[in-house]
Every structure is written in structure tokens, then in C-alpha cells.
Structure 1
Amino acid sequence: MTKSISFIRTGFFLFIGMVTCLLSSCDNEVDIQQAYPFTVETMPVQERIVRGETAEIRCELKRAGRYDEARYTIRYFQPDGKGELRMDDGTVFLPNDRYTLEREVFRLYYTSASSDQQTIDIYVEDNFGQCTELSFSFNNENEEKEEVLK
């Protein structure tokens, strides 16, 4: 009788130990991926521009995955030349100010205000700290045409 009580007691403690191990390794939270890599693809953009001319930049945000609470912003910086960048909804960007990107397919318009070489750097960021940079350079196209001597 003592052996059977000892056997039952040992079995009970083994059962409690296994249940404790199994329950302690469970996690009630579902692991949801929030930050997905992304890129911004553009159509080819003209490289020559004259003062006052506008170049169109067609863009599409390509996301590797979807998370409902992912938010994207856009900003730009102009290290060379002078000009104005605006969104297709009419929003005129100020350098280094962030603007909410509401759509995945959008157009930007750069208007030259300089006759020098111009460069704009565009940054699209998500709310998880990931960033994609686009850089565009425009050369001045001389408005004056050389006269052909006969």
C-alpha cells in the first residue's frame, strides 16, 4: 500500500510539473508584424528644365505587407538650386516639413526657379522609422538658341 501511494504521489507531481511547463510557455498575445519594408517607384523624370518650367514626378508607394495602422509621411530638401515642390492636390511643400501621404499613387510637381543645376531629395517615412529616399537632379536648359550663320 505504501508503494502505491508513493507511485500515485510521484505521478501527481510529474503531472503538475508538465502542466506548469506547458502553461508557462503559452503566450496569450498574437505576434503581429507591424513594420513592413516599402519602396517608392517613379516613372522616368526629365533631366533638363528651364526656369519657370514644371517637371512631373509620378510616384507609387510599394509595400511588402499591410498593417492597418501604418502611416506614411513625405518631406523634401533642396541642396542645389531653387524651386518649388507641390503635391497633386495643390499642397506646396516647405523644405524639411513633414506632410501626411494619404494615397499610394500620387504625383509631385517640381517648378524650377533657378537657371543653375538643381537637386531635390525626397524622403518617404513610415511611423516605424523606416525611410526611402529619392533624389532628382535637373540641369538648366538654356532658353537661348544659337543662330545658324549662313
Structure 2
Amino acid sequence: MKNVIDNSKKGLYSLWYGVAAMLFILSCYSCEKDNLDVQEVFPFEVKVMPVPKEIGTGETVEIRITIVSNGNYNGNQFYIRYFQNEGDGSLRQLPLKPYLPNDLYPLLDREFRLYYLSKSIVSQNFDVWIVDGFGNEKQLNFQFNNKKLTPPIR
């Protein structure tokens, strides 16, 4: 009779060891990176308020921009760069110095204002890129016709 009790205890212990081993194996499979849904890329949109269609030499246009992200990842940094395609002018955020073409500058806020100063008597065209830390980028194009100034009447 003692052998029957000892064998049933051994069987019970074997069952518990088997259950523990199965739980361990299942927990290892559930921790594989391929099965985790970790979002590493957060797409974003760039909204721009309307700007004038014309600009005169020496005039400045304010460009209001807001970056709207689909997710909220605190570690994501945004950057800006621009390139002047036609005409001559400078782009900056106050109180910073004017941006150099094709250089990348960090953006401190997701809502900001740019100021474009016209230095040209012809039409002007430039592109602005907003880039995030994940490599996503949005391109904005700005075109200004030359404002025909009429001389004052005497």
C-alpha cells in the first residue's frame, strides 16, 4: 500500500513540475520581440496658416506652422531645413540668426513661426523640410510673386 501512495505522490510532483515547465516555456514565447506590438515610428502632419501671395523687396512674411503628431513620444525631436530655389531671401525663427540653406536645425516647439525676408526684386520660391528623429519628413513649398510697388503720386 505504501508503494501506491509513494507512486501517486511522485505522479503529483511530476505533474506540478510539468505544469511549471509549460508555464515557463509559454512565458518565454510571449516575450519574443516579434510578438510585441511596439510602435517605433510616429507619423506627423504639418499645418501651415495662409501666407500672402506677393512680397516686396525688404518685406517680411510671417509663416505660422504647427506639427501634429499621430502619437506622443516624448523622446521624438523635430528639425527644420530649407532651400531657396528662386530669388533671394532669408528664413529664420526669432530671435535666432537666419538659417543657412540645407543645414539642419532643431525645433524647440511643435508650434512656431518662421519669418521670411525678401531680398529680391523677382519672384521667390523656397522649400522647407520638417524632419523627425525617426527619419519621417514633410516638405513644404512657398512661392511669392514680386509685389509691384507703385511710386507715390506727387
2:21 aligned with 1:23, yes or no? no
Q: What is the TM-score of this pair, normalised by structure 1? A: 0.81
> Counterparts of 2:86 and 2:72 in 1: how far apart (Å)?
36
- 1:95-114 paired onto structure 2 within 5 Å: 95-114=101-120
Cα offset for 1:24? 2.5
Match among 31, 34, 39 for residue 40 of structure 2: 34
2:98 aligned with 1:89, yes or no? no
Runs of 4+ that moved beyond 6 A: 7-10
> Counterparts of 2:112 and 2:13 in 1: how far apart (Å)?
71
Contact 1:88 1:106 (8 Å CA) reproduced? no
Q: Deviations over 1:19-75 (max 9, x none)?
A: 354133131877542321111111100010111111110111111111111001001
Structure 1: runs of 5 or more not aligned? none
2:128 aligned with 1:122, yes or no? yes
> Counterparts of 2:13 and 2:111 in 1: how far apart (Å)?
68
CA-based RMSD: 2.9
Letter paired with 1:138: F
Between 65-74 and 87-96, the greater mean CA deviation after superposition: 87-96
Between 22-31 and 130-139, the greater mean CA deviation after superposition: 22-31
- Give the paired residue count: 146
Q: What does residue 71 of structure 1 align with?
A: 77
Cα offset for 1:144? 3.0
In structure 2, the CA distance between the partners of 1:89 and 1:31, relative to structure 1 (3 Å rule), is farther
Letter paired with 2:106: T
Q: What does residue 58 of structure 1 align with?
A: 64
Letter paired with 1:137: Q
Identity of aligned residues (%): 37
> Counterparts of 2:62 and 2:91 in 1: how far apart (Å)?
10
Contact 1:75 1:99 (8 Å CA) reproduced? yes
Cα offset for 1:9? 9.9
Structure 2: runs of 5 or more not aligned? 1-7
Q: What is the TM-score of this pair, normalised by structure 2? A: 0.79
